[in-house]
Structure 1
Amino acid sequence: MPEVRMVVDMTTKVSELDDQFGGRHARPMAAAFLVNTVAGYLHADAPSDVRKAMMSAASDLCYLTGYMAVDEGLHGLAQRYYLKALELAGTAGDHLTYCTTLRGMSVQLGDLGYGARALELADAAAAASLAAGPRMRAFLAGQQAHAAALLDERDRAMRHIREAEVAMDRAESPVTTFGSYDPAALHYHISQVRYELGDVSGSVAAMARSNEIRHDIYRRTRVRHGVILAERQFRIGHLEAACQSWKAALGEYPLVQSGRVDTGMRSMIRLTRPHLGNAQVRALHDQARAVLPRAMFTRAGTG
C-alpha cells in the first residue's frame, strides 16, 4: 500500500504542475512515470486488495495523462490513455475514475465537433454514477448540459444546468476543496451553454464571473479561458475589453505550455489583424510579438 500511496501522491503533484504550467510540460513526466514505475507495479505480485488499489491509482494517472494530451492537441494519444484508464478503472471497480474518464472523453469529442457522441458519453458517465455525491453530480451534469447545447437541445441543456446548480449548492461548504468541481467550473459550463445556444453576451458575463472566482493555482485554465472570454467580447463588439482580456492572458503566456492556449493566441492574431489602426490593438500586437513565437505571426500572414 505504500507504493499505491506513492502513485496517488505523484499523480496529485503532476496534476498541480499541469494546472500551473500546462500539459506540454507535465505530460512527459507522467508518461515516463507510467512506463518506468507504474507498469512494473501492475505486473507485480500483490494481495487482491493492494492490486485493485494499484489499478485504481494507475487508472487515475492514465486519465490525467490523457487529459494533458488533449491540452497538447494530441487527440489520438489522449484516446489511448483514456481507454486504458477505463480498462483499469473497470477492473478495479473504481466508478469515480470510470465516470470521470467517460466525461473527459465527452469533453474531448465536444471540442472536436462531435456533439452527438459527446452527449452519448456524458449521459453514459452520469448513468454509471448512481451513487455519486452532489459535487460529482454537478461535475457530470455540467458536461451533459454543454453537450446538449452543442446539439441545440435547449430544454435539455437548461435542465442539466439547473441540476448542476442544485447539486453545487448542496456540495458547497465554507472550506473550498482544490482539485474538484467548484463554482468557477460551474460558471464556465453556464458560459458554454449560453454561447452554444446563441446568448453570447450572457456567455461573456458567465465566463467573466468564472475567471473572477477561480483559484490562483489554475493558471493554465485562467489563461485559456481568458482567451475564450476575449474572443467572445470581440464577437459582441467590445474591442477594448477584448484587448484587456487578451493582454492579461499574454502576461502569463510564457509560463504556460498548452496547445489549446497556442490555438487561442493564433486566433487572436487572425481576428485582430484587420483592426491594427486601433491603438489598443497595436499595443496588444506589440505585447504579443514580445512573448509569442514568431511562427504564429508568419503563419497568420502578418510578417
Structure 2
Amino acid sequence: MQTMARVFAEAAQLHGSGHVRTALAAYLGHDVVGYLQAPAAEHTHRQLLTGAAQLITLLGTMSADSGADALAQRYHHTAARLAADAGDRAVFAITLRAMATHAHDLGHHTPAVMNLAGRAADAARDAPRIIRAYTQAHLAVTAAPEDRHTALTALHQAERLHQQADSAPGPFTAYPLAALHYQRAQTLAALGDRSHAIGAYTTSLRLRTPTERHARTLTHAHLAETLLAHGHLDAALTHWTHFLDNYPHLSSVRASRRLDVMRRHLVPHHRHRPAAALLDRAAPLR
C-alpha cells in the first residue's frame, strides 16, 4: 500500500490526476477493502487503516484536481475517520490540511477555512517536524486574507520547522522545499507583497524536479498572474508560454482553471502581438 501510494502520487504529479484517479479508486475497491476485511492483529489492522487513509486522501486530492469537488470532500472525510480510527495523528492532520487546501483553491478564503487549517496544525503538534511545517505553511496561506499576524507567524514557524526537519521520500513523509516556497509565495501575494511573492514563486520553480510537471505548470501560471498584477506583461508572457508548453501533457481541472484565468487576463492586451500569439495558441485548448 505504501508503494502504491508513491506510484499514484508520482503519476499524478507527472500527468495530472485525470489519468490516475480511476486506477486508484479501483485499487482501493478491489485490494484495499479486502486487506481491511481480513483477520489481522490489532497493530497490523491499525497500519492498514493508516495506509487506507493515506490512499483515500490521495484519491480525494485527485478528485479535487479533476473537478469532482463533492466527491473529493466525501473522500477526505472518510480518510479523516480512518486516520482517527488508526490513532494516526499525522495522517489525520495531513487529511485536514488537504480539506482546507481544497476549500481554499475553490476560493473559500473564509475564517472557517482558516479554522480548518488551524485544526490541521493543532493535530500535527506531536507529528514529525516535516508534517508540522506542512500544516503551518497552509495555515499561513489560509490566514493571509483575514489575519496578517497569524499568517506571518505560521509562515515563519513553517520555515523554521522545515530547516530542522528530517524527511524520507514519499507523499506522506516529504515536504519539498519547492512546495514550501510555493506556499510562501501564496501567502505573500495574499498579503499584497507581490515583489517578494514573485521571488518565492521563482525560487519554487528553480527547485522543482522534472517529475513535478503538475506543480511546475501551476507555478508558472501563478507566477505569470502575479507578474502581470505587478505590471510586468512581457515577463508574465514568458511564464504563460512555459505553462502552455506543459498544459497538453496534463489532465487537471486546476490547470484548466488557470488557462481560463490566463485568457481573461490577456484579452485586454490583445493588441500586444506576443499576447495575441499566446491567445491564438490557447484557443483550441480545453
Residue in structure 2 matched with residue 122 of structure 1 by the alignment: 117
Question: What does residue 161 of structure 1 align with?
Answer: 155
Amino acid at match of 2:93: C
- What do the CA deviations read for 1:143-162 (whole angstroms, capped 9, x no partner)? 111111021x1111111111
Q: What's the TM-score, normalizing by structure 2? A: 0.94
| Number of the residue aligned with 1:296 | none
Query: Do 1:208 and 1:229's aligned partners in 2 also have CA atoms closer than 8 Å?
Result: yes
Give a deviation string over 1:232-279, Cα, whole Å, max 9, x none. 111111111111101101111111110010011011112112212212
1:192-244 Cα offsets, whole Å, 9 max, x none, are 11111111222122111111111221110111121111111111111111111
Does residue 1:80 correspond to 2:55, yes or no?
no
d(CA) in 2 for partners of 1:254, 1:194: 30
Moved more, 227-236 or 281-290: 281-290
Which residue number in structure 2 is paired with residue 22 of structure 1?
A: 16
Map of 1:269 onto structure 2: 263
Q: Runs of 5+ in structure 2 lacking a partner?
A: none
* 2:6/2:170 contact within 8 Å kept: no
Please show how residues 217-256 of structure 1 align to structure 2 within 5 Å: 217-256=211-250
Please state whether the residue corresponding to 1:166 is helix, strand or coil.
helix
Q: Kindly provide the amino acid, as one letter, of the partner of residue 120 in structure 1.
A: N
* Aligned counterparts of 2:224 and 2:252: Cα–Cα separation in 1: 17
Q: Is the 8 A contact 1:200 1:236 kept in 2?
A: yes
d(CA) in 2 for partners of 1:287, 1:178: 36
Tell whether 2:47 aligns with 1:91.
Answer: no
Q: Corresponding residue for 2:97? A: 103
Pairing partner for 1:36 from 17, 30, 34:
30
Q: Which amino acid aligns with 1:147?
A: T
- Within a 5 Å distance, the mapping from 1:162-201 to structure 2 comes to 162-171=156-165, 177=169, 179=171, 180-201=174-195
The answer as to whether partners of 1:168 and 1:182 remain within 8 angstroms in 2 is no
What per-residue deviation string (whole Å, max 9, x for no partner) do you get for residues 54-101 of structure 1?
111111000000011111121110111001101111111112211100
When the two structures are superposed, what TM-score results if normalisation uses the length of structure 1? 0.89
Distance in 2, Cα, partners of 1:217 & 1:162: 28
Query: Over residues 145-181 of structure 1, what are the superposed CA-to-partner deviations in whole Å (9 max), with x where a residue is unaligned?
Result: 1111021x111111111111111111269xx846421
The Cα of 1:130 is off from its aligned counterpart by 2.2
Task: Name the CA shift for 1:47/1:177 in 2 (closer, same or farther; >3 Å).
Answer: closer
Q: Distance in 2 between matches of 1:226 and 1:10?
A: 29
| Offset, 1:288 | 2.2
Q: Tell whether the 8 Å contact from 2:244 to 2:282 is kept in structure 1 after alignment.
A: yes
**Superposed, which structure 2 residues align to 1:272-287 within 5 Å?**
272-287=266-281
Distance across 1 between alignment mates of 2:241 and 2:141: 28
Identity %: 33
Distance in 2 (CA, whole Å) between partners of 1:267 and 1:222 is 17
Rounded to whole Å, the distance in 2 between the matches of 1:249 and 1:31 is 29
Cα distance in structure 1, aligned partners of 2:46 and 2:162: 31
Measure, in 1, the Cα distance between the counterparts of 2:48 and 2:155. 35
Q: What is the letter of the counterpart of residue 165 of structure 1?
A: E
Are the aligned partners of 1:231 and 1:242 in contact in 2 as well (CA < 8 Å)?
yes
Q: Which amino acid aligns with 2:118?
A: D
1:93–1:217 CA distance, 2 compared to 1 (3 A): same
Amino acid at match of 2:140: A
